[in-house]
Structure 1
Amino acid sequence: MTSQKIYWRKVALDSLWVIVAFLSVYAISSHYNFSDNFYTWARQYEQSVDVDEWLPALLASLVAMLWFAKRRINECRILIKKNHALLQRVLEVQESERKRIARDLHDDLGQYLSAINAQASSLMMDNDCSVSAKLTAERIVSSASHAFHATHHLIRALRPVALDDLGLAAALEHLVDSWRSLSSVSNMNVTSQNPTSYHLNIRGNIDQFNETINIAVFRVVQEALNNVSKHAQATRVFIHIHNQPNCLSIEIKDDGVGFNLSKQSSGYGLQGMAERIDALGGDLTITSQADVNQGNTGTKIYVQINTVTLNELAQ
């Protein structure tokens, strides 16, 4: 639940309490005939105090309370904006650190692995080396190659190169293609023998946003696909992204086992996803049919970000 939803939920709750208090006072006043009793009591002091003069004082008190309430609402809005700005700054620092780590892995570890691979390969080609030494060098080459591919995969997870070079749409296409390839090769679906199929549908131009929005959208889709591969046991995954005139919507749904929303603890992935959307002033909704005992009909993640918020962030 985003900060805006929490804010309006508190406003609705406060309004409900005001209505309940009003109805309670009205019922008690009607039951005990408060107006007539008050009139009888007030006539005792009619000579010394003019009761009619109380009305302007009561109205002034009401206006003062309304003014204080409005000021409190404005303060809450300012705090929400500051919270969004702070959260956005934290995410920017996080992405900057990811970028630095990815660069260090590429420049330092990548060079060391390439050097190990080259030196071990030269030993394999050396006729003066024994057979056992060549076998050891061959195993070193194989291990270095696996480590290099693992490092390359880690670098892409830390900082998607396609996002910087080609834009958001191409980066998402590349991300989905990588999951298609990984699913067809390793068959990550444990329950079914069929690989998971991934379907990406993009409507509208999504390459017009700044880096902050691009990273947020990419990370949401990335984390959702990670959750599908780890927990969903799905055979089909659909990703729909629509850039409308008034909002950007993201819908990710699968046909997996789902989970119970009332019992599922908020994991780091879902929490990070919610924080990113909250920083953009958007709404995140997660539904899973397994929580209402309707069978394994999968999970749906729906994100909606207002275009006005996007324009403010782009300035």
Structure 2
Amino acid sequence: MPSDSLPTHADTSRPRSPHSTVWRDFACVIAVTVVAGMLFARFDFSEWAYHWTRRAERFQLDELPATMLVLAVGCAWFAWRRYQEAQREARRRRALEEEAEHLLAENRRLASQAIAAQETERRHLARELHDELGQYLNAISLDAGRIRDLSAQREAEIHRLSLALMQSATHVYREIGGMIRKLRPIGLDEFGLPTALEHCVDGWRERLPDAAFTLAVEGEFDNLSDALNITLYRLVQEGLTNVSKFARDAHVEIYLARGPGEIVVTMTDDGSGVNLSKPRKGLGLIGMRERVEALGGEFHLASRPGEGFLFCARVPVQAGVPLPTAGPNDLNERSDDAAKSAK
């Protein structure tokens, strides 16, 4: 379907405003009244009604038109009052909806700031682990190697202890490297998101030799916010962790693309799948959804037992960019405006 035909369809299906509907109904009432008056005048309705009701004169039925007129005026007044109340309720609902949208946006901004603060602290901790403990562990390993060389022909016990010290230092250094990779993705700050994802996938290729991994990246991923880069990386990282739990010999496809206004990341596998209707003990999928929704994106899951697993996340390109904070005066002004519009 051509793109220029979409606005026309949207215009034809657009609902009319309440004011136009009110005036249309009022015009219908006037038209029906005029037609009824012409018909009554043509067929002498009053004379006909008098002919059939004159035998019940003692019941004062000839005063019924005036009574019905009063009833009609009363019903019109009652309807007008209900209409006014409906208008006030609609204005109040609109004000509440605007306030709810503002609070939701504020909640997303705070969640994004919390994630940014968490990642900043992780970056600082990873740098400290690498710069401080890593250097000291390297120094310990070098000193132990020197002791080993000097004591090789002299003291067998010292030689054995030096070897044990070197092994301990190497083990601790590897553990610290693993902690640094969990705290801060390797290469993300230096080489960008695609390279960091490729390094992450390579690591899982070594851990899961029976699985097949495919990573496809389309578009440029420069000038993205740190929160957005981290969120996309963590999504893939958590998805690969789920693969290691439920699809260790599956074929995994990872697709990352940047469009005009959003970034899409999709991961699929042909593993055993899971039943999403049943409650799960882990918090990985919940954390993935919260990260995406905190940036104003959408997160979708699809899986059935025996039919593999799929997740798709759509995040705005400008997500994570710091927004101007709303001060107390702005919040008070919004509350006053909402209260005035509700009146």
Q: What TM-score, normalized by structure 1, do the two folds share? A: 0.75
Amino acid of the structure 1 residue aligned with 2:98: N
Counterpart in 2 of 1:9?
Answer: none
Displacement after TM superposition at 1:65 (Å): 0.8
**How far apart, CA to CA, are the structure 2 residues paired with 1:176 and 1:123?**
40
**How far apart, CA to CA, are the structure 1 residues paired with 2:161 and 2:246?**
39
Q: Aligned ranges for residues 269-280 of structure 1 at < 5 Å?
A: 269-280=284-295
Gaps of 5+ in 1: 1-39, 185-194, 291-295
Shift in CA distance, 47/118, structure 1 to aligned 2, threshold 3 Å: closer
Q: 2:192 aligns with which of 160, 164, 167?
A: 167
**How far apart, CA to CA, are the structure 1 residues paired with 2:316 and 2:67?**
60
Counterpart in 1 of 2:182?
Answer: 157
Displacement after TM superposition at 1:130 (Å): 1.6
Counterpart in 2 of 1:313?
Answer: 321
Counterpart in 2 of 1:22?
Answer: none
Displacement after TM superposition at 1:148 (Å): 0.9
Residue 342 of structure 2 is aligned to residue 300 of structure 1? no
Q: 2:117 aligns with which of 93, 97, 106?
A: 93
Shift in CA distance, 129/104, structure 1 to aligned 2, threshold 3 Å: farther
Displacement after TM superposition at 1:111 (Å): 2.3
CA contact 1:281–1:306 (8 Å) conserved in 2: yes
Counterpart in 2 of 1:144?
Answer: 169
Counterpart in 2 of 1:238?
Answer: 253
Displacement after TM superposition at 1:94 (Å): 0.9
Q: What CA RMSD, in Å, does the superposition of the two structures yield over aligned residues?
A: 2.5
Gaps of 5+ in 2: 1-63, 324-343
Q: 2:216 aligns with which of 201, 216, 223?
A: 201
Counterpart in 2 of 1:106?
Answer: 130
CA contact 2:208–2:249 (8 Å) conserved in 1: no
Shift in CA distance, 143/214, structure 1 to aligned 2, threshold 3 Å: same
Over 6 Å off, 4+ runs:
none
Q: Aligned ranges for residues 43-58 of structure 1 at < 5 Å?
A: 43=67, 46=70, 50-58=74-82
CA contact 2:116–2:226 (8 Å) conserved in 1: no
Say which one has the larger Rg: 2
Counterpart in 1 of 2:206?
Answer: 181
SS of structure 2 residue aligned to 1:252: strand
Deviations 1:160-208 (A, max 9, x none): 2411011111111121122223334xxxxxxxxxx22211001111224
Q: Aligned ranges for residues 285-296 of structure 1 at < 5 Å?
A: 285-290=300-305, 296=306
Q: Aligned ranges for residues 6-21 of structure 1 at < 5 Å?
A: none
Amino acid of the structure 2 residue aligned with 1:90: A
CA contact 1:123–1:129 (8 Å) conserved in 2: no
CA contact 2:265–2:313 (8 Å) conserved in 1: yes
Displacement after TM superposition at 1:250 (Å): 0.8
Deviations 1:115-134 (A, max 9, x none): 22122111210136422321
Q: What TM-score, normalized by structure 2, do the two folds share? A: 0.69
Deviations 1:43-95 (A, max 9, x none): 58938973322232222111111101111111110111011011111101110
Amino acid of the structure 2 residue aligned with 1:300: L
Shift in CA distance, 62/43, structure 1 to aligned 2, threshold 3 Å: farther
Amino acid of the structure 2 residue aligned with 1:66: A
Shift in CA distance, 130/248, structure 1 to aligned 2, threshold 3 Å: same
CA contact 1:234–1:255 (8 Å) conserved in 2: no
Shift in CA distance, 58/135, structure 1 to aligned 2, threshold 3 Å: same
Residue 140 of structure 2 is aligned to residue 132 of structure 1? no
**How far apart, CA to CA, are the structure 1 residues paired with 2:76 and 2:244?**
73
SS of structure 2 residue aligned to 1:228: helix
CA contact 1:259–1:299 (8 Å) conserved in 2: yes
Q: Aligned ranges for residues 207-218 of structure 1 at < 5 Å?
A: 207-218=222-233
Residue 98 of structure 2 is aligned to residue 74 of structure 1? yes
Counterpart in 1 of 2:21?
Answer: none
Shift in CA distance, 43/303, structure 1 to aligned 2, threshold 3 Å: farther
CA contact 1:99–1:159 (8 Å) conserved in 2: yes
How many equivalent residue pairs? 258
